[in-house]
């Protein structure tokens, strides 16, 4: 019997988190009479016991709001929790404290909403015997155990709208416009928004690029009277025999490498090689903000409701997943540790090549 559910949102924020929380609370309270306790700022709140009961009024009107009313953190691994940020940095396993806090509040199941890092900790809690359900979230859409993660569609929409706006200024000034989007290891955002936004060149991490091929594409367009070009590039893209562009390294972060700057590198190389004026736009955190699209609102709602259903049925150690058109589940063991990258023979890539798009190879 489930009487109380705990819930937290971890990792980077994205549109749709509030929609999941809304579905969890409305399903738990409205259908099953289950109490819901939300932990603040991801696993940090679980470690420090910062939480509050969530009632129906708390989730009223948040379906279309970006971000998360609980707050989030992408730095707080409860199994390697940073005790001090000063050198030497000290870490401690605080997972037992988390379990004690859950027992203290009478929580029968914890629903964790997040990406690979958040879900990896959920798996580790399941290995400790905790009742856990995971909900997949990442704007990169790079979790292999689900067809789509919520937040991705909104990020693609934001990038596509940016490309639409860059077209007009690129054409007016006869420039090359480079749009840098998120995508550390997987190029799904760049690929889908590039196709939807009519980009001429799409550069993704899965296909190392040759700058000469990109320049050839720009020259070919100019020879046909198209005096502008649009390039979209994922932050994790890299040249042949080269490496990614690192913006900075944060020593006290569990994920210390911060990428950024590939757009400027491309622009510099284009101007140097063929002398065409090139401008760069970096979308950055704009992709994480704003209202979720209707598609993400629906997917988030389905995920949240399914997570509560799994908890009530006692099917713990699972992550809700979209397979085709159906919401199903996979084990947390299956859900983490494997990235879903763009296959070289992906249908969108084949379609793009048929349309004459350049992928830098």
**What CATH number does residue 258 fall under?**
3.40.50.460
Same domain for 296 and 186: no
Same domain for 276 and 161: yes
Mean pLDDT for 231-248 is 88
In this prediction, residue 31 has a pLDDT band, given cuts at 50, 70 and 90, of: very high
pLDDT of residue 199: 96
| Residue 51 counted as domain residue | yes
- In total, how many domains does the chain have? 2
Contact status, residue 183 vs residue 205, Cβ threshold 8 Å: yes
pLDDT of residue 82: 87
Q: Higher-confidence residue: 110 or 11?
A: 110
Same domain for 106 and 14: yes
Same domain for 314 and 193: no
CA atoms within 13 A on the CB side of 279: 12
pLDDT of residue 256: 67
pLDDT of residue 72: 92
The helix/strand count (H/E) of the chain reads as: 12, 15
Mean pLDDT for 207-224 is 95
Mean pLDDT for 70-78 is 90
pLDDT of residue 244: 81
pLDDT of residue 255: 67
Same domain for 58 and 16: yes
Q: Structural domain of residue 100, as residue ranges?
A: 4-150+292-335
- Closest to 150 in 3D by CA, of 163, 140, 161: 140
Same domain for 164 and 127: no
Residue 140 annotated in active site: yes
| Residue 132 counted as domain residue | yes
| Residue 246 counted as domain residue | yes
Residues sharing a CB contact under 8 Å with residue 275, sequence separation 6 or more, in sequence order = none
Same domain for 17 and 83: yes
pLDDT in tens, 121-161: 999 999 999 999 999 999 999 999 999 999 999 999 999 99
Share of the chain above pLDDT 90, in %: 83
Check whether 253 has a pLDDT greater than 90. no
pLDDT in tens, 292-338: 999 999 999 999 999 999 999 999 999 999 999 999 999 999 999 88
Q: Phi first, then psi: give them for residue 136, nearest 5 degrees.
A: -80, 130
| Residue 259 counted as domain residue | yes
Share of the chain above pLDDT 70, in %: 98
Contact status, residue 19 vs residue 301, Cβ threshold 8 Å: yes
Contact status, residue 312 vs residue 28, Cβ threshold 8 Å: no
In this prediction, residue 245 has a pLDDT band, given cuts at 50, 70 and 90, of: confident
Mean pLDDT for 30-59 is 96
Same domain for 9 and 88: yes
* Number of CB atoms found within 10 A of residue 337's CB: 12
Q: Compute the mean pLDDT over every residue in the chain, rounded to the nearest whole number.
A: 93
| Residue 247 counted as domain residue | yes
Same domain for 27 and 142: yes
Same domain for 192 and 58: no
| Residue 352 counted as domain residue | no
Check whether 251 has a pLDDT greater than 70. no
Same domain for 202 and 276: yes
Q: Which of 41, 76, 140, 296 is catalytic?
A: 140
| Residue 213 counted as domain residue | yes
pLDDT of residue 254: 62
| Residue 358 counted as domain residue | no
pLDDT in tens, 155-205: 999 999 999 999 999 999 999 999 999 998 999 999 999 999 999 999 999
């Amino acid at each position: 019997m489930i009487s109380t559910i705990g819930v937290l949102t971890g990792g980077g924020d994205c549109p749709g988190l509030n929609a999941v929380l809304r579905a969890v609370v409305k399903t738990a309270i409205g259908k099953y009479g289950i109490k819901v306790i939300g932990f603040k700022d991801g696993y940090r709140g679980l470690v420090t016991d910062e939480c509050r009961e969530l009632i129906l009024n708390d989730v009223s009107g948040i379906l279309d709001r970006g971000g998360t009313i609980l707050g989030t953190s992408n730095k707080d691994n409860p199994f390697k929790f940073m005790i001090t940020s000063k050198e030497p940095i000290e870490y401690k396993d605080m997972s037992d404290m988390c379990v004690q806090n859950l027992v203290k509040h009478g929580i029968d199941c914890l629903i964790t909403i997040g990406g690979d890092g958040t879900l990896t900790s959920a798996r580790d809690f399941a290995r400790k015997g905790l009742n856990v359900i995971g909900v997949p979230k990442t704007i990169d859409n790079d979790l292999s155990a689900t067809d789509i993660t919520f937040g991705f569609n909104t990020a693609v929409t934001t990038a596509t709208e940016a490309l639409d706006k860059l077209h007009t200024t690129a054409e007016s000034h006869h420039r090359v416009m480079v749009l840098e989007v998120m995508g550390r290891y997987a190029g799904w955002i760049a690929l889908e928004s590039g196709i939807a936004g009519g980009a001429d060149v799409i550069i993704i991490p899965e296909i190392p690029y040759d700058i000469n091929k990109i320049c050839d594409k720009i020259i070919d367009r100019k020879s046909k009277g198209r005096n502008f070009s649009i390039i979209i590039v994922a932050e994790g893209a890299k040249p042949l025999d080269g490496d990614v562009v690192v913006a900075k390294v944060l020593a006290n972060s569990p994920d210390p490498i911060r990428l950024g700057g590939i757009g400027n590198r491309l622009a510099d190389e284009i101007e140097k090689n063929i002398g065409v004026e090139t401008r760069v736009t970096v979308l950055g955190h704009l992709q994480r903000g704003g209202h979720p699209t209707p598609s993400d609102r629906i997917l988030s709602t389905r995920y949240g409701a399914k997570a509560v259903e799994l908890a009530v049925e006692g099917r713990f150690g699972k992550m809700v997943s979209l397979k085709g058109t159906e919401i199903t589940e996979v084990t947390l063991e299956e859900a983490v540790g494997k990235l879903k990258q763009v296959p070289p023979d992906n249908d969108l890539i084949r379609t793009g090549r048929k349309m004459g798009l350049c992928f830098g190879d």
